[in-house]
Amino acid sequence: MDQSGAEEAAMHRHPPQHSSIPSGENSVWSDVSHRLEAACRELRDGELIHGDNFNLFAAMSALEIMDPKMDSGIVCKYYSIDEAVENGVAPVPISSDKTIDVQCTIDIMDHLLACEATWHNGHSLAQTVFSCIYLLRPDRTSSHAILHSYCRVKRATCKAVVSVVSDARTHEEEDLFTMAYGLPLHGDGDEKCLSMLNAVEETIYRQLRACNATSSKKRVSEDIEPLQHNLDLEEDFCKALLCRIRFRKHFFHVLTCMRRPQGRGLELARKHIASCMSELECILNSAEFLRLGAYGTCEDGVEDRTTASGRAAIGFDASLNSRSSAPTPPRAIKILSWEKAVQYFLKLLHDLDIVCSYSLDPSLEGVLRFVVQFQKSKPDLIARAHLQLLLIQDGKLYGRDPIFAVITKAAALPEVTKNHDIQKNEYIVQLGQLVINLLKILCTNAAWQRRKLGKILQDWRVIYVQLEIAFRNEVGSVSSISDDENICVRIFKHILNWVEEQTYWIASRYLMLGFELDLYSPSEYCMVYWYMYVVLIKLAEKTHLRIAVSSGTVKKKGKKKKDSSKEVAKESRIPLPVLFLQCHLCLAQGLSMMLAALRNELMVLQSPSPFNTEHERFIQHFELLQKACVPDNISYLSFKESTTYTRFSTLVMYNYFKNAQRIAKEIKSSFSDDPDRLAEVRRLEQVAEHNGVALNVICRVGALDPSLKVSFEFTHHPYFATAVVKRS
């Protein structure tokens, strides 16, 4: 800003008397106070001095004090937790009337559940679970056994969840999740939370039994003090509390069992998951009773209620933490409703159950398939973190199988490889790391996953090139090939083929995720399906080679041609995994050709733009694939060459959709014991059938009828579109 008025002041020089840093040859101490004061006077509200290092981030981080949208330090109600407590915001006991006290305790539990679900869904701990003053002051609740034990298990659960997510480090974009600065995530004695909770559960269970006994046999167990004074409500209150407490207990067990090494706790975890789910059902059922007792002020609509009763819970203030702990953006957040929270937990438990029921398949192919299938239900961060920690422990698959052994199996390497020195080769070691990284990436959310997959394509390509060079050196350096080297050559050949296969698999997943994330617009479908097709061809080729080679190895080891005609027949048959890929491949090719014909003949789905052309959009969409040469020699030019002259007449001749349909029919029976893949084949079959029909309709009337409208929908499959033909 304008600094001319400050020039004179700058001329004064006052070497400081006691400075610890002496003036040097080119520097001298001077007092800039005057200059600074003068400069300050020049500045008006909202002006700033722009230094080179004042970038967008700095500008965005700047706050305007006392602006309620930005200033976290602004006092909303209370300066501190203590002040809130002194003002009676979180009384202990909550009420001197025991019935009301129990009601309020249940409300607190319900609201905390809603807070927890809101936290899991992307908000900070400080603004959600730890908006509860009872949780923030662990000692205050000690006289209230139910509340105290509940708060303890809640803190311990949060701690366990933060730990699983930070250990998995799958949360790059979800880093808000684990931030807990300044929050008492661990209260003294929280580690004993389960024994306390069990004691409380036991007491309430006795109270429940006592009240049942009272109604039938009249006052048998007088030594047991009831939960509260209204005996008509005793049973329902006991039940409402019990299911809430038991849910917490089992949920905590689920989290700890799932962390046991090598998946040893999975079976037990499943039992606790089942218990959690049935307790959640009871919690849902208790709502009817709790709403009856809800006299007084109700919160807004049913959809917004954060408690079963509909009352606002006592002892919460989300604004308190904004002054004491980060990160709490000053804006108020919306806590999920209680019903949505219960639904959320049911979904989470369902996802965790899928992880726990996993068979720890030792084949990498099986692992990849499982993870991809698991991701289809869009599991949240916690479920994904658990899966990742299960898959990779101590650098081994399930903490059990060394990665090299996994690769040996996956790449169908000869048995001797397991103990071969080749595993010490630095590139083979690196390859192992790439496999681990791949598995971890596949456990991240779809958006992050796609970006990372795009980036690691390069790594896989580089390792391929390095292995190839190592392989050539190996072959070149030996003039007389001994048996051992022969093995080496074979191993390298298999590994190279397998690395390529994996690279194409990653590329195809990268392209498919683009549909899931809605990154492609209809005018780009043609090039996307075309690219998918060229990648799938390569993938099918490499897969076929691997299977052929591995079955060849088996044959060599076995007895000499016993039944040669049968063998030949078997060999000539295309293996199932390859047929499965071919079915995808035909669809991708069919779709890209159909889209090309639509553009060429009906002049639709073209998108001229003022600033660039389709060529630039092609470069942008596939830059990571192109950079990694996946596949080799593929460019915009090759795309144009294969699509520019596509006509409906040629399309009908090739019949891609019929082929896809035929393959689907053929392989369906082979997947009868694999429901996931059977469902996938059925979906492919439907897409093929519908598109085949659509194509026929367009061919018959398309060119003659300008009112024909063709659109694409993902009704049958998440990334293979179905053409919908309508007359407008």
Partner 1 sequence: MEPNKEEEQQQQEAAQKAEFDPSEIEYVIYGGEHHLPLIMNLVDQELSEPYSIFTYRYFVYLWPNLSFLAFHRGKCVGTVVCKMGEHRTTYRGYIAMLVVINSYRGRGIATELVTRSIKVMMESGCEEVTLEAEVTNKGALALYGRLGFIRAKRLFRYYLNGVDAFRLKLLFPIPEIHPALSMIAESDEIQRHDQISQQEC
Which chain residues interact with partner 1 by CB under 8 A? 46-48, 50, 54, 56, 58-60, 62-64, 67, 69-70, 121-123, 173-174, 329, 331, 445-448, 450-451, 455, 517-521, 524, 607, 609-613, 615-617, 619-621, 623-624, 626-627
**Minimum CB separation from partner 1 for residue 526, in Å?**
14
* The Cα angle at residue 191 between residues 185 and 196, in degrees rounded to 5: 110
Among residues 247, 250, 209, the alpha carbon closest in space to that of 227 is found at 209
Q: Which is nearer to partner 1, 122 or 402 (CB)?
A: 122
Q: What secondary structure letter does DSSP report for 293?
A: T
CA separation for the pair 8, 11 (Å, rounded): 6
Residues ≥6 apart with Cβ < 8 Å to 75: 323
Q: What secondary structure letter does DSSP report for 601?
A: I
Q: Which is nearer to partner 1, 447 or 469 (CB)?
A: 447
Q: Which is nearer to partner 1, 47 or 365 (CB)?
A: 47
Residue 95 buriedness (CB in 10 A; 0-12 / 13-18 / 19+) = middle
Among residues 575, 584, 576, the alpha carbon closest in space to that of 535 is found at 584
**Hey, what are 377's tokens?**
């239900």
Rg (C-alpha) for the chain, rounded Å, is 33
Residues ≥6 apart with Cβ < 8 Å to 656: 586, 587, 589, 590, 593
**Minimum CB separation from partner 1 for residue 140, in Å?**
32
Q: Which is nearer to partner 1, 143 or 612 (CB)?
A: 612
Q: Which is nearer to partner 1, 45 or 223 (CB)?
A: 45
Q: Which is nearer to partner 1, 561 or 627 (CB)?
A: 627
**Minimum CB separation from partner 1 for residue 68, in Å?**
9
Looking from the CA of 653 toward its CB, the CA atoms found within 13 Å total 5
Q: How far is CA 46 from the centre of its chain?
A: 41
Q: Which is nearer to partner 1, 44 or 217 (CB)?
A: 44
Are 127 and 318 contacting, i.e. CB atoms less than 8 angstroms apart?
Answer: yes
**Hey, what are 450's tokens?**
């796609």
**Minimum CB separation from partner 1 for residue 130, in Å?**
19
**Minimum CB separation from partner 1 for residue 414, in Å?**
38
**Minimum CB separation from partner 1 for residue 31, in Å?**
29
Q: Which is nearer to partner 1, 50 or 229 (CB)?
A: 50
Q: Which is nearer to partner 1, 260 or 461 (CB)?
A: 461
Residue 143 buriedness (CB in 10 A; 0-12 / 13-18 / 19+) = exposed
**Minimum CB separation from partner 1 for residue 192, in Å?**
36
**Minimum CB separation from partner 1 for residue 29, in Å?**
31
**Minimum CB separation from partner 1 for residue 715, in Å?**
20
Among residues 589, 706, 700, 722, the alpha carbon closest in space to that of 646 is found at 589
Are 247 and 255 contacting, i.e. CB atoms less than 8 angstroms apart?
Answer: no
Say which amino acid occupies 124.
S
Are 342 and 283 contacting, i.e. CB atoms less than 8 angstroms apart?
Answer: yes
Q: Which is nearer to partner 1, 28 or 447 (CB)?
A: 447
Work out the number of other CB atoms within 10 angstroms of the CB of residue 257: 19
**Minimum CB separation from partner 1 for residue 589, in Å?**
23
